[in-house]
Amino acid sequence: MPEEYPLSTPTSDERTFGILSHILAIVPGIGIFGPLVIWLIKKDESSFVEANAKESLNFQLTMLIAYVICWILVFVGGAFFFGVVWVLNLILVIVASVKTSENKIYRYPFNLRLIK
């Protein structure tokens, strides 16, 4: 999985916000809004938090598109794909959170980078 090292070592608060930008995305009821709020609030304060929150936001937008496709496929017997997408989302968010805790900027595989 691709990952990048930030230009400077992030502070403890930056690392915490970076981790939260990934973890909040899988909390029911928060979803895409967690990384969005963190990105909007912290994008001008920390490049580390901005990069992680933007990557998480883009990945959650990609997952949203995948869920819409799964919903369409339900009519042709594709309810199984909801579970596959959910498990994939969960695993990759955990990996991203661990990498962020190691002061790395994780790049999700097959991520549509809609927010530049």
- pLDDT tens, position by position, 84-115: 888 999 999 999 999 999 998 889 988 888 88
Cβ(32)–Cβ(60) under 8 Å?
Answer: yes
Maximum CA pair distance of the chain? Answer: 50
Model's pTM, two decimal places?
Answer: 0.85
Q: What is the pLDDT of residues 20-67, one digit of tens each?
A: 999 999 988 888 999 999 999 998 998 899 999 999 999 999 999 998
- Report how far residue 49's alpha carbon sits from residue 11's, in angstroms, rounded to the nearest whole number: 10
* Torsion angle in degrees (nearest 10) through CA of 80, 60, 35, 88: 50
Best CA proximity match to 63, nearest among 4, 97, 20, 22: 22
Q: Residue with structure tokens 């928060």?
A: 30
CA 6 to CA 27: how far, in whole Å?
A: 26
pLDDT tens across 54-90, in order? 999 999 999 999 989 888 888 776 677 888 888 999 9
pLDDT given at position 1: 47
Domain boundaries, the chain: 3-105
